[in-house]
Amino acid sequence: METLLKPTLYATDGTLQGGRCTCGHVFFPMQGHGCEVCGRHGADLQPMVLKGRGKLLSSTVVHLHIDKARAAPFTIGKIALADGPVVRTLLVDPTREIEPGTAMVTALVPVGRSENGQTILDLRFAPET
Amino acid sequence: MARTLKDLRPVYVVGVGWHRYQNPSETPYVTLGVTAIRDALADARLDWPAVESAYVATALLGMASGRPMLRHLGATGIPLSHVENASASGSTAFRQACIEVASGLTDVSLAVGVDKRNPVRRDSTGMDNLAEDAIAQFTHFSLLTNEYAHRHKVSFEDIARVAVKNHRNGAKNKNAQRQQERTLEEVLGGKKVAGSLTALQCTPVGEGAAAAIVASEDGIKRLGLDTSRAIRVIGSTARSERVYAAGLGFDAVLTKETTTIALQEAQVSPQELDIIELHDAFTVEELHYIENIGLCPEGQGVHLLKEGTLDIGGRCAVNPSGGLIAMGHPIGPTGIGQIGEIALQLRGEAGARQHPKARTGLAHMVGVGAVCYVHLLQRP
């Protein structure tokens, strides 16, 4: 059995839990505080499933990190999602920078095991194959 | 119609002072702060009771740190405010002091920045994120470095030359945290933190203090201050981040927006700038910002750097203090220290760092948020 590390942010099919304002602004993650473009809130902000694909803007291998729970090296990518928002998160390959412009897709990777023995999955990005 | 700083009463920087920026030590922040204020009072040839209000910039000292410091100058009962605005805390405090004098509410006001390297605490927004805990500031700027190098076909070696210049400037500054010249090999050879970024291309966050005293013409006259050393603040502009198109670097776009307004309001062109002190916490930032301030088109910054255009004695001295990379970035003091450096340069009192015939200077600061502050100073 598997479980997601952050189920409010993404689903098992690799999509992301974003939102859309009636003004048209698409954002990630879903939130109800208010739209960053127009300030509408409440029912004007609706959940929107964002496709787990996009284009790499930049990536970098992190050689040093203060938090020992995140052992370096790891790679951070900045990805412009096909649906609009730009996200920054970990890439699957911890040691390799990727050419800007590369098409990227989400992947769920095991990051640990829960108390009841389920594999915990977290979302990463990798080049589309 | 809203007015600009230039429409109000003229404001002048009349005194600047520092406690050296340094590696974290046992020195209490009170010692750092009062040292900088006394240095600024001595520079202005002014006594503390003449100061009518104080703005204390600090991001990392916690609540109400100002009064336990200021009381040791003599508790005169003046209004006291604390200003927190991340890296731009000092710039914000300076702006508030200028606004208060310009408005006529005071004739003499103080902005002082003081900080120690303490953990940053930011409360939850109630929104989760994918992996923000894995993205340190240097990682953010390493991403930008890689984007810049790729987009403009620039080498990492050339980007690192920013650090060589700024360490060279810092080596001549007694208030700088790093006072050692570094070769390009030394800069590139150091410990890598993320991507191509090495430790000597990153600001060393330490501790220290900086103070600036601003005064009106009435104040200068009444107190008998030296008008020949007073530097006018001809512009003060502040902005915060909007929603930009995917792929645009918000620090650079925000810098462009803020600087454009500041230069326009003060009727100064980028080519008239003799001195720029800007937020070079990481090497690539200096290139982004000089391009967005308008010294050259995007992607051309490296050429100016290699030609010596940005050196002391070049067309426009950028970060003659050593900048955040060499002078340091104790957070609260940094923006005020920039004002101090520009004041010294425009007075002709910068010693070994003096840029010839400096008349107009620009101070630029960005802070997490993001916010951006630009001040323009001119020798009358």
pLDDT tens profile B97-140 = 999 999 999 999 999 999 999 988 889 999 999 999 999 999 99
CA pair distance B143, A61, nearest whole angstrom:
9
Q: Is A65 on the interface with B (CB under 8 A)?
A: yes
* Fold of the CATH domain B5-119+205-231: Peroxisomal Thiolase; Chain A, domain 1 (3.40.47)
A26-35, A61-70, B106-115, B204-213 — which is least confidently predicted? A61-70
Q: How near does any CA of chain A get to the CA of B163, in Å?
A: 20
ipTM: 0.95
How far, rounded to the nearest angstrom, does the alpha carbon of residue A32 sit from its chain's CA centroid? 19
Q: Is A67 on the interface with B (CB under 8 A)?
A: yes
Task: Express as a percent the part of chain B with pLDDT over 90.
Answer: 95
CA pair distance B285, B144, nearest whole angstrom:
9
Closest residue in A to B146 (Cα–Cα): A58
The residue extents of the domains of chain B are 5-119+205-231, 135-202+233-378
pLDDT higher than threshold 90 for residue B355: yes
Q: How near does any CA of chain A get to the CA of B93, in Å?
A: 27
CATH class of B135-202+233-378: alpha beta
Q: What is the pLDDT of residues A99-118, one digit of tens each?
A: 999 999 999 999 999 999 99
Burial B335-360 (b: 16+ CB within 10 A, else e): bbbbbbbbbbbbbeebeebbbeebeb
Reference B89, options B57, B118, B119; nearest CA is: B57
Q: Is A63 on the interface with B (CB under 8 A)?
A: yes
Q: Does A64 sit within 8 Å of B192, measured CB to CB?
A: yes
* pLDDT mean over A67-93: 95
pLDDT at A12: 96
Q: Are A92 and A122 in contact (CB under 8 A)?
A: no
Q: Which domain holds residue A69?
A: 2-127
Would you say how long chain B is, in residues? Answer: 380
**Position B27, amino acid:** T
Closest residue in B to A7 (Cα–Cα): B128
Would you say how long chain A is, in residues? Answer: 129
The full DSSP string for B182-205 is --HHHHHHS-EEETTEEGGGB---
Whether omega for the bond prior to residue B245 falls within 30 degrees of 0, making it cis, is no
Reference A28, options A106, A101, A80; nearest CA is: A80
pLDDT at B309: 98
Res. B310 pLDDT band, cuts 50 70 90: very high
Angle between helices B283-293 and B156-170 (to 10 degrees): 90
CA pair distance B213, B218, nearest whole angstrom:
14
Name, in order, each residue with C-beta under 8 angstroms of A24's C-beta and a sequence gap of 6 or more. none
Host H or E run for residue B378: strand B371-378
Q: How near does any CA of chain B get to the CA of A1, in Å?
A: 22
Residues of chain B positioned with their CB less than 8 A from the CB of A64: 191-194
Q: What is the pLDDT of residues B210-234, one digit of tens each?
A: 999 999 999 999 999 999 999 999 9
Angle between helices B283-293 and B137-152 (to 10 degrees): 60
Q: Does A31 sit within 8 Å of B246, measured CB to CB?
A: no
Mean pLDDT, chain B, integer:
97
Query: Which among B190-194, B247-251, B298-302 has the top mean pLDDT?
Result: B298-302
Q: Is B191 on the interface with A (CB under 8 A)?
A: yes
Task: Express as a percent the part of chain B with pLDDT over 70.
Answer: 100
* pLDDT mean over B176-187: 98
Handedness of CA B137, B139, B140, B146 (dihedral sign): positive
Q: Are A21 and A36 in contact (CB under 8 A)?
A: no
Res. A90 pLDDT band, cuts 50 70 90: very high
Domain count, chain A: 1
Q: Is A60 on the interface with B (CB under 8 A)?
A: yes
**HSE of B379 in the Cβ direction (CA atoms, 13 Å)?**
18
Q: How near does any CA of chain B get to the CA of A18, in Å?
A: 11
> Maximum distance among all alpha carbons in chain A?
45
Angle between helices B156-170 and B137-152 (to 10 degrees): 120
**Position B62, amino acid:** G
Q: Is B245 on the interface with A (CB under 8 A)?
A: no
CA pair distance B110, B210, nearest whole angstrom:
11
Reference B160, options B198, B214, B212, B113; nearest CA is: B198
pLDDT at A69: 85
Residues of chain B positioned with their CB less than 8 A from the CB of A88: 130-132, 135, 143
pLDDT higher than threshold 80 for residue A35: yes
* pLDDT mean over B239-245: 94
Q: Is A22 on the interface with B (CB under 8 A)?
A: no
At residue B286, φ and ψ (nearest 5 deg) are -60, -40
Same fold, B5-119+205-231 and B135-202+233-378: yes
pLDDT at B370: 94
A87-96, B59-68, B246-255 — which is least confidently predicted? B246-255
Closest residue in A to B137 (Cα–Cα): A65
pLDDT at B121: 87
Mutation target for A interface from B120, B127, B129, B130: give the one with most A CBs within 10 A. Answer: B130
Res. B77 pLDDT band, cuts 50 70 90: very high
Mutation target for B interface from A31, A37, A76: give the one with most B CBs within 10 A. Answer: A76
Reference B210, options B361, B55, B317, B60; nearest CA is: B55
Closest residue in B to A96 (Cα–Cα): B195
Q: How near does any CA of chain A get to the CA of B186, in Å?
A: 18
pTM of full prediction above 0.90: yes
Of B135, B146, B191, the CB nearest to A97: B146
Q: How near does any CA of chain A get to the CA of B131, in Å?
A: 5
Q: Are A98 and A77 in contact (CB under 8 A)?
A: yes
CA pair distance B332, B91, nearest whole angstrom:
9
Reference B361, options B372, B370, B371, B347; nearest CA is: B347
At residue B307, φ and ψ (nearest 5 deg) are -80, -10
Closest residue in A to B198 (Cα–Cα): A63
Reference A9, options A18, A19, A22, A1; nearest CA is: A18
Q: Is A37 on the interface with B (CB under 8 A)?
A: yes
Residues of chain A positioned with their CB less than 8 A from the CB of B128: 6, 8-9, 29
Q: Does B143 sit within 8 Å of A58, measured CB to CB?
A: yes
Strands B80-83 and B53-57: what pairing? parallel
pLDDT at B205: 86
CA pair distance B339, B278, nearest whole angstrom:
11
Q: How near does any CA of chain A get to the CA of B128, in Å?
A: 7
Q: Is A15 on the interface with B (CB under 8 A)?
A: no
Of A63, A84, A90, the CB nearest to B246: A84
Better-scored residue on pLDDT, B205 or B224: B224
Q: Is B160 on the interface with A (CB under 8 A)?
A: no
